[in-house]
Structure 1
Amino acid sequence: MAASVGALALGISALVVCPAASHAEQAKTSSSASDDLNSVFKTQPCVQAKSLSQLDAPLARVAKRLEAHDPVTIVAVGSSSTGGAGASTPAFSYPSRLERELRQRFPETRVTVINQGINGEDANSMMARMDAVLEPKPDLVIWQLGTNTVLRDGNIPETANVLQAGISRIKKSGADVLLIDPQFAPRVNAKPAVSEMVGLIAYVAKQTHVPLFRRYVAMRHWHEDQAIAFDRFITADGLHMNDWGYSCLARLLAENITATVARSRAVAGVKPFQ
Protein backbone atom coordinates (compact mmCIF):
# COMPACT_ATOMS: atom_id res chain seq x y z
CA MET A 1 0.00 0.00 0.00
CA ALA A 2 2.71 2.49 1.06
CA ALA A 3 4.82 1.70 -2.02
CA SER A 4 1.88 2.20 -4.36
CA VAL A 5 0.99 5.50 -2.74
CA GLY A 6 4.59 6.67 -2.88
CA ALA A 7 4.77 5.91 -6.59
CA LEU A 8 1.51 7.74 -7.24
CA ALA A 9 2.69 10.75 -5.27
CA LEU A 10 5.88 10.96 -7.25
CA GLY A 11 3.72 10.96 -10.38
CA ILE A 12 2.11 13.91 -9.65
CA SER A 13 -13.87 26.72 13.82
CA ALA A 14 -16.78 27.70 15.34
CA LEU A 15 -19.84 25.48 15.04
CA VAL A 16 -22.32 26.90 12.54
CA VAL A 17 -25.78 25.39 12.57
CA CYS A 18 -28.43 27.16 10.52
CA PRO A 19 -32.03 26.80 11.67
CA ALA A 20 -34.88 25.78 9.40
CA ALA A 21 -36.05 28.55 7.12
CA SER A 22 -38.90 29.11 4.72
CA HIS A 23 -38.23 29.20 0.98
CA ALA A 24 -38.83 32.95 1.03
CA GLU A 25 -36.30 33.42 3.82
CA GLN A 26 -33.77 31.26 1.99
CA ALA A 27 -34.29 33.26 -1.20
CA LYS A 28 -33.67 36.49 0.70
CA THR A 29 -30.54 35.01 2.30
CA SER A 30 -29.28 33.78 -1.09
CA SER A 31 -29.77 37.21 -2.66
CA SER A 32 -27.87 38.91 0.15
CA ALA A 33 -25.13 36.28 -0.02
CA SER A 34 -24.84 36.75 -3.76
CA ASP A 35 -24.24 40.48 -3.34
CA ASP A 36 -21.73 39.74 -0.60
CA LEU A 37 -19.81 37.25 -2.74
CA ASN A 38 -19.84 39.53 -5.75
CA SER A 39 -18.23 42.17 -3.58
CA VAL A 40 -15.56 39.71 -2.45
CA PHE A 41 -14.71 38.78 -6.04
CA LYS A 42 -14.91 42.31 -7.46
CA THR A 43 -11.14 42.86 -7.62
CA GLN A 44 -10.16 39.25 -8.32
CA PRO A 45 -12.55 36.86 -10.11
CA CYS A 46 -12.91 33.29 -8.86
CA VAL A 47 -12.21 31.04 -11.85
CA GLN A 48 -12.43 27.26 -12.02
CA ALA A 49 -9.65 25.20 -13.58
CA LYS A 50 -10.85 22.88 -16.33
CA SER A 51 -9.38 19.92 -14.43
CA LEU A 52 -11.84 20.61 -11.59
CA SER A 53 -14.99 20.67 -13.70
CA GLN A 54 -16.59 17.88 -11.66
CA LEU A 55 -15.91 15.45 -8.85
CA ASP A 56 -14.82 11.96 -9.89
CA ALA A 57 -17.35 9.93 -7.90
CA PRO A 58 -21.08 10.35 -7.24
CA LEU A 59 -22.89 11.88 -4.27
CA ALA A 60 -25.88 9.56 -4.43
CA ARG A 61 -27.59 10.46 -1.16
CA VAL A 62 -27.26 14.20 -1.71
CA ALA A 63 -28.58 13.88 -5.27
CA LYS A 64 -31.58 11.87 -4.08
CA ARG A 65 -32.50 14.35 -1.36
CA LEU A 66 -32.09 17.35 -3.64
CA GLU A 67 -34.31 15.67 -6.21
CA ALA A 68 -37.02 15.24 -3.58
CA HIS A 69 -36.43 18.77 -2.17
CA ASP A 70 -35.75 17.15 1.19
CA PRO A 71 -33.51 19.03 3.65
CA VAL A 72 -29.80 18.36 3.16
CA THR A 73 -27.43 18.39 6.12
CA ILE A 74 -23.69 18.62 5.50
CA VAL A 75 -21.00 18.32 8.16
CA ALA A 76 -17.59 19.81 7.35
CA VAL A 77 -14.92 18.16 9.49
CA GLY A 78 -11.30 19.23 9.43
CA SER A 79 -8.71 21.41 11.08
CA SER A 80 -8.16 25.18 11.13
CA SER A 81 -8.79 25.72 7.42
CA THR A 82 -12.25 24.24 7.95
CA GLY A 83 -12.79 26.10 11.20
CA GLY A 84 -11.98 29.35 9.39
CA ALA A 85 -8.62 30.50 10.77
CA GLY A 86 -7.57 33.55 8.79
CA ALA A 87 -11.11 34.65 7.90
CA SER A 88 -12.23 38.09 9.04
CA THR A 89 -15.38 36.60 10.63
CA PRO A 90 -16.88 33.09 11.04
CA ALA A 91 -19.23 33.98 8.17
CA PHE A 92 -16.23 33.83 5.83
CA SER A 93 -15.17 30.29 6.73
CA TYR A 94 -15.53 27.97 3.75
CA PRO A 95 -18.42 25.97 5.33
CA SER A 96 -20.42 29.17 5.85
CA ARG A 97 -19.75 30.30 2.30
CA LEU A 98 -20.56 26.83 0.95
CA GLU A 99 -23.95 26.85 2.64
CA ARG A 100 -24.77 30.18 0.98
CA GLU A 101 -23.53 29.01 -2.41
CA LEU A 102 -25.59 25.79 -2.28
CA ARG A 103 -28.72 27.59 -1.09
CA GLN A 104 -28.35 29.94 -4.03
CA ARG A 105 -28.10 26.98 -6.43
CA PHE A 106 -30.89 24.94 -4.81
CA PRO A 107 -33.39 27.51 -3.49
CA GLU A 108 -36.17 24.93 -3.06
CA THR A 109 -34.12 22.84 -0.64
CA ARG A 110 -33.09 23.72 2.91
CA VAL A 111 -29.32 23.18 2.94
CA THR A 112 -27.48 23.31 6.28
CA VAL A 113 -23.70 23.14 6.61
CA ILE A 114 -22.35 22.44 10.09
CA ASN A 115 -18.76 23.50 10.72
CA GLN A 116 -16.88 20.95 12.83
CA GLY A 117 -13.38 22.17 12.08
CA ILE A 118 -10.98 22.26 15.05
CA ASN A 119 -7.62 24.03 14.95
CA GLY A 120 -4.56 21.81 14.91
CA GLU A 121 -6.25 18.46 14.42
CA ASP A 122 -4.87 15.65 12.28
CA ALA A 123 -6.66 12.63 10.82
CA ASN A 124 -6.31 10.60 14.03
CA SER A 125 -7.93 13.34 16.11
CA MET A 126 -10.78 13.68 13.65
CA MET A 127 -11.33 9.93 13.59
CA ALA A 128 -11.45 9.89 17.39
CA ARG A 129 -14.46 12.23 17.35
CA MET A 130 -16.25 10.63 14.40
CA ASP A 131 -19.29 9.79 16.57
CA ALA A 132 -19.74 13.52 17.25
CA VAL A 133 -19.25 14.31 13.56
CA LEU A 134 -22.05 11.89 12.65
CA GLU A 135 -24.35 12.84 15.53
CA PRO A 136 -26.35 15.37 13.40
CA LYS A 137 -27.10 12.49 10.95
CA PRO A 138 -25.55 14.26 7.94
CA ASP A 139 -26.33 13.44 4.34
CA LEU A 140 -22.77 14.40 3.41
CA VAL A 141 -19.52 14.59 5.36
CA ILE A 142 -16.82 16.78 3.81
CA TRP A 143 -13.50 15.65 5.28
CA GLN A 144 -10.53 18.02 4.96
CA LEU A 145 -7.26 16.52 6.14
CA GLY A 146 -3.54 16.04 5.60
CA THR A 147 -2.04 19.47 6.21
CA ASN A 148 -1.11 19.14 9.89
CA THR A 149 0.48 15.73 9.40
CA VAL A 150 2.66 17.23 6.65
CA LEU A 151 3.58 20.28 8.72
CA ARG A 152 4.55 18.09 11.69
CA ASP A 153 6.55 15.62 9.59
CA GLY A 154 4.10 12.91 10.66
CA ASN A 155 3.60 9.38 9.41
CA ILE A 156 1.95 9.87 6.03
CA PRO A 157 1.38 6.19 5.08
CA GLU A 158 -0.43 5.70 8.41
CA THR A 159 -2.93 8.34 7.30
CA ALA A 160 -4.21 5.90 4.66
CA ASN A 161 -5.38 3.42 7.32
CA VAL A 162 -7.10 6.16 9.33
CA LEU A 163 -8.74 7.58 6.23
CA GLN A 164 -10.02 4.21 5.04
CA ALA A 165 -11.47 3.46 8.48
CA GLY A 166 -13.13 6.88 8.62
CA ILE A 167 -14.65 6.55 5.17
CA SER A 168 -16.03 3.13 6.09
CA ARG A 169 -17.52 4.54 9.30
CA ILE A 170 -19.17 7.44 7.46
CA LYS A 171 -20.57 5.22 4.71
CA LYS A 172 -22.08 2.86 7.29
CA SER A 173 -24.03 5.82 8.67
CA GLY A 174 -25.61 6.26 5.24
CA ALA A 175 -23.89 9.56 4.49
CA ASP A 176 -21.95 10.46 1.37
CA VAL A 177 -18.26 11.33 1.77
CA LEU A 178 -16.24 14.03 0.02
CA LEU A 179 -12.53 14.53 0.71
CA ILE A 180 -10.47 17.73 0.55
CA ASP A 181 -6.67 17.52 0.38
CA PRO A 182 -4.07 20.04 1.71
CA GLN A 183 -3.86 23.68 0.69
CA PHE A 184 -1.27 25.08 -1.71
CA ALA A 185 0.44 27.60 0.58
CA PRO A 186 4.05 28.63 1.32
CA ARG A 187 4.39 26.80 4.64
CA VAL A 188 2.86 23.63 3.21
CA ASN A 189 4.88 23.80 0.01
CA ALA A 190 8.09 24.03 2.06
CA LYS A 191 7.49 20.42 3.12
CA PRO A 192 8.58 17.94 0.39
CA ALA A 193 6.20 15.34 1.82
CA VAL A 194 3.15 17.32 0.68
CA SER A 195 3.29 15.57 -2.72
CA GLU A 196 3.14 12.20 -0.98
CA MET A 197 0.15 13.27 1.10
CA VAL A 198 -1.71 14.67 -1.91
CA GLY A 199 -1.02 11.44 -3.78
CA LEU A 200 -2.08 9.27 -0.85
CA ILE A 201 -5.43 11.01 -0.43
CA ALA A 202 -6.09 10.72 -4.17
CA TYR A 203 -5.22 7.02 -4.05
CA VAL A 204 -7.53 6.29 -1.12
CA ALA A 205 -10.36 8.30 -2.70
CA LYS A 206 -10.07 6.24 -5.88
CA GLN A 207 -9.85 2.93 -4.03
CA THR A 208 -12.88 3.70 -1.85
CA HIS A 209 -14.91 5.30 -4.67
CA VAL A 210 -15.46 8.64 -2.93
CA PRO A 211 -15.14 12.07 -4.57
CA LEU A 212 -12.11 14.25 -3.92
CA PHE A 213 -11.99 18.01 -4.22
CA ARG A 214 -8.39 18.71 -5.18
CA ARG A 215 -7.81 21.86 -3.19
CA TYR A 216 -4.05 21.68 -3.73
CA VAL A 217 -4.50 21.70 -7.51
CA ALA A 218 -7.15 24.43 -7.37
CA MET A 219 -4.97 26.76 -5.32
CA ARG A 220 -1.88 25.99 -7.39
CA HIS A 221 -3.96 27.03 -10.42
CA TRP A 222 -4.69 30.39 -8.78
CA HIS A 223 -1.01 31.05 -8.15
CA GLU A 224 0.74 29.49 -11.14
CA ASP A 225 -1.80 29.78 -13.97
CA GLN A 226 -3.77 32.87 -12.95
CA ALA A 227 -0.66 34.57 -11.52
CA ILE A 228 -2.45 35.50 -8.30
CA ALA A 229 0.03 36.45 -5.58
CA PHE A 230 -0.10 34.37 -2.41
CA ASP A 231 -1.04 37.42 -0.35
CA ARG A 232 -4.27 37.71 -2.34
CA PHE A 233 -5.60 34.41 -0.96
CA ILE A 234 -3.27 33.44 1.91
CA THR A 235 -2.85 35.36 5.18
CA ALA A 236 0.48 36.66 6.49
CA ASP A 237 1.11 33.38 8.35
CA GLY A 238 1.78 31.68 5.02
CA LEU A 239 -0.73 28.94 5.77
CA HIS A 240 -4.36 29.93 6.20
CA MET A 241 -6.69 31.35 3.58
CA ASN A 242 -8.25 34.80 3.78
CA ASP A 243 -11.81 35.84 2.91
CA TRP A 244 -11.19 35.67 -0.84
CA GLY A 245 -9.51 32.27 -0.57
CA TYR A 246 -12.27 30.71 1.51
CA SER A 247 -15.01 32.25 -0.63
CA CYS A 248 -13.45 31.04 -3.87
CA LEU A 249 -12.88 27.57 -2.41
CA ALA A 250 -16.55 27.42 -1.41
CA ARG A 251 -17.73 28.60 -4.82
CA LEU A 252 -15.62 26.02 -6.68
CA LEU A 253 -16.72 23.28 -4.29
CA ALA A 254 -20.39 24.24 -4.77
CA GLU A 255 -19.92 24.22 -8.55
CA ASN A 256 -18.38 20.75 -8.35
CA ILE A 257 -21.15 19.41 -6.12
CA THR A 258 -23.78 20.87 -8.44
CA ALA A 259 -22.14 19.37 -11.53
CA THR A 260 -21.79 15.98 -9.86
CA VAL A 261 -25.42 15.96 -8.75
CA ALA A 262 -26.51 16.92 -12.27
CA ARG A 263 -24.41 14.11 -13.72
CA SER A 264 -25.97 11.61 -11.30
CA ARG A 265 -29.44 12.73 -12.36
CA ALA A 266 -28.54 12.46 -16.05
CA VAL A 267 -27.26 8.90 -15.57
CA ALA A 268 -30.52 8.04 -13.78
CA GLY A 269 -32.56 9.61 -16.59
CA VAL A 270 -33.99 12.34 -14.36
CA LYS A 271 -34.74 15.81 -15.71
CA PRO A 272 -32.27 18.54 -14.67
CA PHE A 273 -33.18 20.99 -11.91
CA GLN A 274 -35.25 23.94 -13.11
Structure 2
Amino acid sequence: MCLALCGAAEAGSIPCGAQNFSDPLRLSRVQADRAAGAPLRVLAIGSSSTEGVGATSPQFSYPAQLQGELARRIPGAPVTVVNAGIGGEKADATLARLRSAVADGGFDLVLWQVGTNDALAGGEVGPFRDMLREGIATVRNAGLGLMIIDQQYFPAIKDGRRYRAFVAAVREEAAAARVPVFHRHDMMQAWVDAGGAERLEAALAPDRFHMNDAGYACLAQKLAGVIADAAATAGPMASAQPAQTVQ
Protein backbone atom coordinates (compact mmCIF):
# COMPACT_ATOMS: atom_id res chain seq x y z
CA MET A 1 0.00 0.00 0.00
CA CYS A 2 1.21 3.47 -0.89
CA LEU A 3 2.02 5.46 2.24
CA ALA A 4 2.78 8.72 0.46
CA LEU A 5 0.54 11.65 1.25
CA CYS A 6 -1.95 12.51 -1.48
CA GLY A 7 -1.51 15.76 -3.38
CA ALA A 8 -0.72 19.05 -1.74
CA ALA A 9 -3.13 18.83 1.19
CA GLU A 10 -1.19 18.49 4.42
CA ALA A 11 -3.63 18.77 7.31
CA GLY A 12 -5.25 15.40 7.98
CA SER A 13 -3.63 13.78 4.96
CA ILE A 14 -4.30 10.06 4.58
CA PRO A 15 -2.76 7.22 2.59
CA CYS A 16 -4.71 6.96 -0.67
CA GLY A 17 -3.80 3.34 -1.31
CA ALA A 18 -2.30 1.90 -4.45
CA GLN A 19 -5.45 0.36 -5.92
CA ASN A 20 -6.82 1.85 -9.14
CA PHE A 21 -10.56 2.56 -9.05
CA SER A 22 -10.85 3.86 -12.62
CA ASP A 23 -11.89 2.15 -15.80
CA PRO A 24 -9.38 2.66 -18.64
CA LEU A 25 -9.69 6.06 -20.28
CA ARG A 26 -8.66 6.46 -23.91
CA LEU A 27 -8.38 9.95 -25.33
CA SER A 28 -6.76 10.23 -28.74
CA ARG A 29 -7.85 13.87 -28.88
CA VAL A 30 -5.82 14.58 -25.75
CA GLN A 31 -2.91 12.62 -27.19
CA ALA A 32 -3.02 14.53 -30.47
CA ASP A 33 -3.23 17.88 -28.70
CA ARG A 34 -0.35 16.99 -26.42
CA ALA A 35 1.78 15.93 -29.38
CA ALA A 36 1.16 19.35 -30.90
CA GLY A 37 1.86 21.11 -27.60
CA ALA A 38 -1.71 22.41 -27.33
CA PRO A 39 -3.35 22.99 -23.93
CA LEU A 40 -5.21 20.25 -22.10
CA ARG A 41 -8.67 21.54 -21.16
CA VAL A 42 -10.83 19.67 -18.67
CA LEU A 43 -14.39 20.48 -17.58
CA ALA A 44 -15.21 19.21 -14.08
CA ILE A 45 -18.98 19.42 -13.67
CA GLY A 46 -21.25 18.18 -10.90
CA SER A 47 -22.53 19.12 -7.47
CA SER A 48 -20.93 19.88 -4.11
CA SER A 49 -18.17 17.28 -4.45
CA THR A 50 -16.97 19.15 -7.53
CA GLU A 51 -17.57 22.60 -6.10
CA GLY A 52 -15.40 21.62 -3.14
CA VAL A 53 -17.78 21.75 -0.19
CA GLY A 54 -15.85 20.46 2.81
CA ALA A 55 -12.49 21.81 1.63
CA THR A 56 -10.86 24.56 3.67
CA SER A 57 -10.57 26.75 0.56
CA PRO A 58 -11.30 26.52 -3.19
CA GLN A 59 -7.66 25.64 -3.88
CA PHE A 60 -8.24 22.29 -2.15
CA SER A 61 -11.29 21.28 -4.20
CA TYR A 62 -10.63 18.24 -6.34
CA PRO A 63 -10.61 20.21 -9.65
CA ALA A 64 -8.03 22.68 -8.32
CA GLN A 65 -5.81 19.90 -7.00
CA LEU A 66 -6.31 17.94 -10.23
CA GLN A 67 -5.00 20.85 -12.27
CA GLY A 68 -1.81 20.88 -10.24
CA GLU A 69 -1.42 17.11 -10.47
CA LEU A 70 -1.92 17.12 -14.24
CA ALA A 71 0.53 19.97 -14.75
CA ARG A 72 3.10 17.92 -12.87
CA ARG A 73 2.37 14.64 -14.65
CA ILE A 74 1.90 16.04 -18.19
CA PRO A 75 4.56 18.74 -18.56
CA GLY A 76 5.09 20.83 -21.65
CA ALA A 77 1.71 22.45 -22.24
CA PRO A 78 -0.81 24.49 -20.23
CA VAL A 79 -3.38 22.48 -18.27
CA THR A 80 -6.71 24.02 -17.31
CA VAL A 81 -9.38 22.37 -15.16
CA VAL A 82 -12.59 24.40 -15.00
CA ASN A 83 -14.63 23.87 -11.82
CA ALA A 84 -18.33 23.87 -12.77
CA GLY A 85 -19.64 22.36 -9.54
CA ILE A 86 -22.81 23.65 -7.87
CA GLY A 87 -23.67 22.25 -4.46
CA GLY A 88 -27.01 20.50 -4.03
CA GLU A 89 -27.59 20.06 -7.73
CA LYS A 90 -29.26 16.94 -9.12
CA ALA A 91 -28.60 15.35 -12.49
CA ASP A 92 -31.32 17.23 -14.37
CA ALA A 93 -29.90 20.65 -13.49
CA THR A 94 -26.34 19.55 -14.17
CA LEU A 95 -27.43 18.10 -17.51
CA ALA A 96 -28.84 21.45 -18.59
CA ARG A 97 -25.53 23.15 -17.78
CA LEU A 98 -23.60 20.34 -19.45
CA ARG A 99 -25.45 20.88 -22.73
CA SER A 100 -24.49 24.55 -22.72
CA ALA A 101 -20.89 23.94 -21.68
CA VAL A 102 -20.08 21.40 -24.39
CA ALA A 103 -21.90 23.41 -27.05
CA ASP A 104 -19.54 26.30 -26.38
CA GLY A 105 -16.58 24.02 -27.05
CA GLY A 106 -13.11 24.59 -25.68
CA PHE A 107 -12.72 21.32 -23.76
CA ASP A 108 -10.96 18.03 -24.43
CA LEU A 109 -12.38 16.02 -21.53
CA VAL A 110 -15.47 16.17 -19.32
CA LEU A 111 -15.45 14.76 -15.77
CA TRP A 112 -19.11 14.36 -14.81
CA GLN A 113 -19.65 13.76 -11.08
CA VAL A 114 -23.24 12.64 -10.66
CA GLY A 115 -25.79 10.70 -8.67
CA THR A 116 -25.46 11.35 -4.95
CA ASN A 117 -28.18 13.99 -4.65
CA ASP A 118 -30.49 12.03 -6.93
CA ALA A 119 -30.13 8.98 -4.69
CA LEU A 120 -30.83 11.01 -1.55
CA ALA A 121 -33.68 13.17 -2.88
CA GLY A 122 -36.30 10.45 -3.20
CA GLY A 123 -36.61 10.29 -6.98
CA GLU A 124 -36.89 7.15 -9.06
CA VAL A 125 -33.89 5.40 -10.57
CA GLY A 126 -35.54 5.06 -14.01
CA PRO A 127 -35.56 8.79 -14.84
CA PHE A 128 -32.02 9.03 -13.43
CA ARG A 129 -30.89 6.39 -15.89
CA ASP A 130 -32.52 8.39 -18.70
CA MET A 131 -30.55 11.48 -17.68
CA LEU A 132 -27.32 9.50 -17.61
CA ARG A 133 -27.95 8.29 -21.14
CA GLU A 134 -28.78 11.80 -22.33
CA GLY A 135 -25.68 13.27 -20.71
CA ILE A 136 -23.45 10.63 -22.26
CA ALA A 137 -24.97 11.30 -25.68
CA THR A 138 -24.54 15.05 -25.23
CA VAL A 139 -20.81 14.79 -24.55
CA ARG A 140 -20.27 12.13 -27.19
CA ASN A 141 -22.06 14.12 -29.88
CA ALA A 142 -19.84 17.09 -29.07
CA GLY A 143 -16.79 14.94 -29.81
CA LEU A 144 -15.33 15.22 -26.31
CA GLY A 145 -13.82 12.65 -23.98
CA LEU A 146 -15.91 11.68 -20.95
CA MET A 147 -15.34 10.04 -17.59
CA ILE A 148 -18.16 9.72 -15.06
CA ILE A 149 -17.42 9.98 -11.33
CA ASP A 150 -19.96 8.01 -9.32
CA GLN A 151 -21.42 8.61 -5.87
CA GLN A 152 -19.45 8.90 -2.66
CA TYR A 153 -19.66 6.42 0.18
CA PHE A 154 -20.43 7.93 3.58
CA PRO A 155 -21.21 6.49 7.02
CA ALA A 156 -24.77 7.79 7.42
CA ILE A 157 -26.41 6.20 4.37
CA LYS A 158 -29.94 5.51 5.64
CA ASP A 159 -31.32 3.36 2.83
CA GLY A 160 -28.37 1.35 1.59
CA ARG A 161 -30.39 -0.70 -0.86
CA ARG A 162 -31.78 2.37 -2.60
CA TYR A 163 -28.40 4.12 -2.63
CA ARG A 164 -26.68 1.09 -4.12
CA ALA A 165 -29.33 0.98 -6.86
CA PHE A 166 -28.26 4.46 -7.97
CA VAL A 167 -24.59 3.50 -7.80
CA ALA A 168 -25.39 0.46 -9.94
CA ALA A 169 -27.28 2.66 -12.41
CA VAL A 170 -24.14 4.71 -13.06
CA ARG A 171 -22.03 1.58 -13.49
CA GLU A 172 -24.53 -0.14 -15.78
CA GLU A 173 -25.44 2.81 -18.01
CA ALA A 174 -21.79 3.73 -18.44
CA ALA A 175 -20.88 0.13 -19.26
CA ALA A 176 -23.68 -0.09 -21.83
CA ALA A 177 -22.39 3.08 -23.51
CA ARG A 178 -18.74 2.04 -23.13
CA VAL A 179 -17.92 5.11 -21.06
CA PRO A 180 -15.28 4.86 -18.31
CA VAL A 181 -16.22 5.42 -14.68
CA PHE A 182 -14.12 6.51 -11.72
CA HIS A 183 -15.57 4.36 -8.94
CA ARG A 184 -15.42 6.81 -6.07
CA HIS A 185 -17.90 4.77 -4.03
CA ASP A 186 -15.67 1.70 -4.24
CA MET A 187 -12.58 3.74 -3.37
CA MET A 188 -14.14 5.11 -0.20
CA GLN A 189 -15.59 1.74 0.77
CA ALA A 190 -12.13 0.24 0.32
CA TRP A 191 -10.75 2.76 2.79
CA VAL A 192 -13.18 1.39 5.38
CA ASP A 193 -12.34 -2.20 4.50
CA ALA A 194 -8.60 -1.54 4.80
CA GLY A 195 -8.48 0.76 7.79
CA GLY A 196 -11.86 0.90 9.44
CA ALA A 197 -14.18 3.85 9.87
CA GLU A 198 -11.33 5.98 11.21
CA ARG A 199 -9.55 5.91 7.88
CA LEU A 200 -12.65 7.02 5.99
CA GLU A 201 -13.40 9.75 8.49
CA ALA A 202 -9.86 11.08 8.10
CA ALA A 203 -10.86 11.93 4.51
CA LEU A 204 -14.19 13.51 5.42
CA ALA A 205 -15.19 17.01 6.46
CA PRO A 206 -16.83 17.52 9.88
CA ASP A 207 -20.26 16.85 8.31
CA ARG A 208 -19.06 13.25 7.67
CA PHE A 209 -20.52 13.50 4.17
CA HIS A 210 -18.29 15.66 1.99
CA MET A 211 -14.57 15.07 1.53
CA ASN A 212 -12.00 17.28 3.23
CA ASP A 213 -8.75 18.59 1.72
CA ALA A 214 -7.04 15.21 2.01
CA GLY A 215 -9.98 13.30 0.58
CA TYR A 216 -10.15 15.61 -2.43
CA ALA A 217 -6.39 15.24 -2.83
CA CYS A 218 -6.76 11.47 -3.10
CA LEU A 219 -9.51 11.87 -5.68
CA ALA A 220 -7.41 14.32 -7.69
CA GLN A 221 -4.34 12.09 -7.52
CA LYS A 222 -6.22 9.03 -8.75
CA LEU A 223 -7.92 10.92 -11.59
CA ALA A 224 -4.66 12.55 -12.65
CA GLY A 225 -3.00 9.18 -13.00
CA VAL A 226 -5.73 7.90 -15.30
CA ILE A 227 -5.79 11.05 -17.44
CA ALA A 228 -2.01 11.19 -17.70
CA ASP A 229 -1.92 7.55 -18.76
CA ALA A 230 -4.57 8.27 -21.40
CA ALA A 231 -2.60 11.20 -22.74
CA ALA A 232 0.49 9.02 -23.10
CA THR A 233 -1.12 5.92 -24.63
CA ALA A 234 -2.48 5.61 -28.16
CA GLY A 235 -6.10 4.54 -28.54
CA PRO A 236 -9.54 5.62 -29.72
CA MET A 237 -11.09 8.70 -28.12
CA ALA A 238 -13.46 7.95 -25.26
CA SER A 239 -16.30 9.88 -26.87
CA ALA A 240 -16.06 7.91 -30.12
CA GLN A 241 -15.20 4.41 -28.89
CA PRO A 242 -14.55 4.41 -25.14
CA ALA A 243 -12.81 1.68 -23.25
CA GLN A 244 -15.15 -0.97 -21.93
CA THR A 245 -16.00 -0.66 -18.26
CA VAL A 246 -14.04 -3.11 -16.15
CA GLN A 247 -15.97 -4.54 -13.23
Q: TM-score band (shorter)?
A: 0.7 to 0.9
Once the two structures are overlaid, the 10-residue window that deviates more, 65-74 or 257-266, is 257-266
Does 1:233 pair with 2:203? yes
Report the secondary structure of 1:115's partner residue.
strand
Counterpart in 1 of 2:214? 244
Output the CA distance in 2 between the equivalents of 1:82 and 1:95: 7
Alignment partners' CA distance in 1, 2:11 and 2:226: 19
Q: Where in structure 2 are the equivalents of 1:1-274 lying within 5 Å?
A: 37=7, 40=10, 44-50=14-20, 52=21, 54-134=22-102, 135-188=104-157, 190-227=159-196, 228-264=198-234
In 1, distance between residues paired with 2:38 and 2:230?
18
Q: d(CA) in 2 for partners of 1:137 and 1:168? A: 18
Higher-helix-fraction structure: 1
3-state secondary structure, aligned to 1:46: coil
Give the Cα–Cα distance (whole angstroms) in 1 for the partners of residues 183 and 87 of structure 2: 21
Structure with max Cα Rg: 1
Q: 1:132: Cα distance to partner?
A: 3.2
Tell me the TM-score normalized by structure 2.
0.85
Secondary structure of 2:129's aligned partner: helix
Q: Could you tell me how far 1:136 is from its partner in structure 2?
A: 4.9
Q: Which digits, 9 at most, give the CA deviation of each residue in 1:110-155, with x for residues without a partner?
A: 1100000001111111112223322352111100000001111211
Give the Å deviation of 1:94.
Answer: 0.3
Separation (CA, whole Å) in 1 of partners of 2:106 and 2:13:
39
Given that 2:25 and 2:226 are in contact with CA atoms closer than 8 Å, whether structure 1 keeps it comes out as: no
- Partners of 1:189 and 1:136 lie apart in 2 by 40
Return closer, same or farther for 1:170/1:49 CA change in 2, 3 Å cut-off.
Answer: same
Any conservation in 2 of the 1:98–1:253 contact (CA below 8 Å)?
A: yes
Call closer, same or farther: CA 1:159–1:172 in 2, change over 3 Å: same
Residue aligned with 1:40, SS = coil
1:192-218: CA deviation from partner (whole Å, max 9, x where unpaired): 212111111111111111111000111
TM-score normalized with structure 1 length: 0.77
Contact 2:116–2:151 (CA<8 Å) still a contact in 1? yes
Higher relative contact order structure (alpha carbons within 8 Å, sequence separation ≥ 6) = 2
Structure 1 residues 57 and 189: alpha-carbon distance in aligned structure 2, compared to 1, 3 A threshold? farther
Task: Report % sequence identity.
Answer: 33
Q: CA RMSD in A?
A: 2.3
